[in-house]
């Protein structure tokens, strides 16, 4: 049995459970339960505070866990990052009063900085040869400058709307963060094998999200030109249509290249282009 720790509430909880569901793992955790077991995969799920997950994984209470990189790096526990998961993206940034003139990091020399991430802030200051006073507080960091507690703050930022509403502006990014799957450094061979099976499913789900399946009709005299535009996983599938002189092509496009290639396909004579989401993608 593989034991995984996920956030019991907060921004990563829903996406973590959604990922496990997309991996075909059926979990019924009821209401306010701190432990659950999958019915169709040897997986036991613990629901913990996000700040505690790296410690529990290091101690072996959980074999693996899902946490933000910001928490993993701040806690600095002896765990290994097994996979970046692509959700929960945010950044750990320094912000100051929007009326302040901020030229560069030297502005922070001798200042007071309020944060819940003292380790990462200190690393940033040391890297830039800045001496500043760090005030560690547990919440409502954004109000610190307004009540005279600090000259600047360092906190997680997603849209920046909270900073704006509190009269602050973002001036330095310390860390770009996303959810990661961490693991205990001393997993048994049996649990490493279960983790490999879980990662296989996660990779299939993540590839599917980054790709689109397309079907299109093309005149046969344009096939070579259109095929050159379709990289696919290996090469496009080509099937003859009932109408003479036409074929149907099936392929896969990455999300980043999608619209650019679709425009080129239209210009090359492709018609009836259908775009279908992919649920799983195994290569």
**SS3 track for 89-135:** CEEEEEEEECCCCCCCHHHHCCCEEEECCHHHHHHHHHHCCCCCEEE
Collapsed DSSP state (helix, strand, coil) of residue 64: strand
Please give the pLDDT value at position 258: 82
The Cα–Cα gap between 115 and 140 comes to 9
Q: Nearest to residue 58, comparing CAs of 12, 96, 95, 5?
A: 5
**Do 99 and 53 have their domain in common?**
no
**Crossing angle, helix 189-209 and helix 13-22, to 10 degrees?**
90
Please give the pLDDT value at position 235: 76
The Cα–Cα gap between 216 and 248 comes to 6
Q: Tell me, what CATH number does 118's domain have?
A: 3.40.190.10
pLDDT of 213-237, one tens digit each? 999 999 999 998 998 888 655 678 8
pLDDT of 224-283, one tens digit each? 899 888 865 567 889 999 999 999 999 888 888 888 888 999 999 999 999 888 888 887
**Do 56 and 185 have their domain in common?**
yes
Q: Is the pLDDT of residue 121 over 70?
A: yes
Paired with 81 in beta bridges are 182
**Do 168 and 94 have their domain in common?**
yes
Q: How many domains does the chain have?
A: 3
**Do 97 and 169 have their domain in common?**
yes
**Do 103 and 168 have their domain in common?**
yes
Q: Is residue 133 part of a domain?
A: yes
Q: Is residue 282 part of a domain?
A: no
**Do 173 and 94 have their domain in common?**
yes
Please give the pLDDT value at position 139: 79
**Do 80 and 23 have their domain in common?**
yes
Tell me which DSSP letter residue 116 carries.
Answer: S
**Do 262 and 203 have their domain in common?**
no
Helix, strand, coil share of the chain (percent; to 5):
30, 35, 35
How many Å separate Cα 190 from the centre of its chain? 27
pLDDT of 31-75, one tens digit each? 567 899 999 999 999 999 999 999 999 999 999 999 999 999 999
Please give the pLDDT value at position 255: 80
Overall pTM > 0.95: no
Task: Give the domain range for residue 68.
Answer: 2-87+179-208
Q: Tell me, what CATH number does 270's domain have?
A: 3.30.70.120
Q: Count of residues for the chain? A: 283
Q: Is residue 283 part of a domain?
A: no
**Do 10 and 116 have their domain in common?**
no
């Amino acid at each position: 049995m593989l034991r995984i720790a996920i956030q019991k509430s907060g921004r990563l909880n829903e996406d973590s459970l959604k990922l496990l569901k997309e991996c075909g793992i059926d979990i019924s955790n009821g209401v306010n339960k701190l432990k659950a077991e999958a019915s169709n995969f040897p997986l036991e799920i613990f629901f913990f505070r996000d700040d505690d997950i790296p410690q529990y994984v290091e101690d072996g209470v959980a074999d693996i866990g899902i946490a933000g990189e910001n928490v993993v790096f701040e806690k600095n526990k002896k765990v290994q990052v097994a996979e970046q998961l692509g959700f929960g993206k945010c950044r750990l940034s320094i912000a100051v009063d929007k009326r302040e003139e901020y030229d560069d990091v030297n502005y922070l020399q001798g200042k007071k900085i309020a944060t819940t991430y003292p380790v990462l802030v200190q690393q940033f200051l040391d890297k830039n040869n800045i001496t500043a006073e760090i005030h560690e507080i547990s919440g409502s960091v954004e109000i610190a400058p307004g009540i005279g507690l600090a000259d600047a703050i360092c906190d997680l930022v997603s849209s920046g709307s909270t900073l704006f509403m509190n009269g602050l502006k973002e001036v330095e990014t310390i860390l770009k963060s996303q959810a990661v799957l961490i693991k205990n450094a001393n997993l048994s061979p049996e649990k490493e094998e279960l983790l490999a099976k879980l990662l296989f499913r996660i990779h299939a789900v993540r590839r599917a999200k980054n790709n689109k399946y397309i079907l299109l009709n093309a005149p046969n005299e344009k096939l070579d030109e259109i095929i050159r535009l379709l990289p696919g996983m290996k090469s496009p599938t080509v099937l003859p249509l009932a109408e003479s002189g036409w074929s149907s092509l099936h392929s896969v496009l990455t999300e980043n290249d999608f619209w650019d290639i679709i425009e080129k396909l239209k210009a090359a004579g492709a018609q009836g282009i259908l775009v279908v989401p992919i649920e799983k993608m195994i290569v």
